[in-house]
Structure 1
């Protein structure tokens, strides 16, 4: 086993411990992206944890869903980006670890209300689950943060992962139709097709996504 493998295994275990303390590890997750007109599952598992990718909490509010139990946010996220949202536990993605985060990890903790993964660790979650970053020669060299969150959930051992609000076809965002540019489609397509082959615990409510990628449809 290489030092890199050892290091990543330690990151996974820290994340697992952090999620377990918050009661999130052994529950099914509804991972909500921000694609237009998300298909909200009905009914949801009674113990489901609501997990929002970046600013999809705005989409959740529009569709009658509760605040997120866990939100993936970026280092560059501003107060305006999440204005009006109730933010609870946060998985924060940063370019590098802060001194405080390194101190937490030294003592075997991932954080308190906020845990951190670096961009490099995000890539490792994708690589360990899907086997590649699927760089397609465009301006993006990896799948979207929505796919990264799916891979994170798989890697830490979430038993059921329900994906909604993720599209490879629709343009724009549910919470802001004026933003038209959606990136990562080729990378997401390749990654989700591979995820469909190796992770039966990942299902989707989006019929078009399932048909294109082979990810099974969610059945209540």
Structure 2
């Protein structure tokens, strides 16, 4: 019963979130603030993580394919496809759920326990729409760009690390990146990014919006939000992979 209660209340919240805004200009200003706060501030962590993961995957693929029968170009191909299909979309979404999701839950939850949301409601403002809608749009908008950046810097990290440790040359790595490339992989992962962006923003917002108690409960809600968001990301990753890649 608890599960269905949360599902019903979640969709009830979304119906308020996507209601017609009172003042569109106010929402546009808030949207740009959220893009800067939630998206732009996440760029550096995406770059750093992607560079290191790209280098690590290159070394691991080179070790796994250490057989004279396998061409060295497979190292670049394996790194590319792993970044395109899974890491830069799904794994990055899991990481962002911890950073962005906890931020959203704690911000909205703090407003709830300090009665700021109640004050907005008294003033006739649709608090769910005003607080949550710009966050959802900002995260869904920024996720595909973070995905593209992650793929680029992941491949760059592999190209720097491979020759540095002597497992693959730069020409071999670049040939591997270009070998058997399927543009649909990017389309598939962009679709996943849009879905994951919606989950990373809306699920934590739900836990923050309905939190009750004080600062301790806000902290617990942030933990629940991250855990549940990660579970949903993995579930939809499985579902979308089954629907779009088979």
- Output the TM-score relative to the length of structure 2: 0.25
Specify the structure having the higher radius of gyration (Cα): 2
- Structure scoring higher RCO (CA < 8 A, sep ≥ 6) equals 2
- Output the TM-score relative to the length of structure 1: 0.27
Structure with more of its chain in strand, by fraction: 1
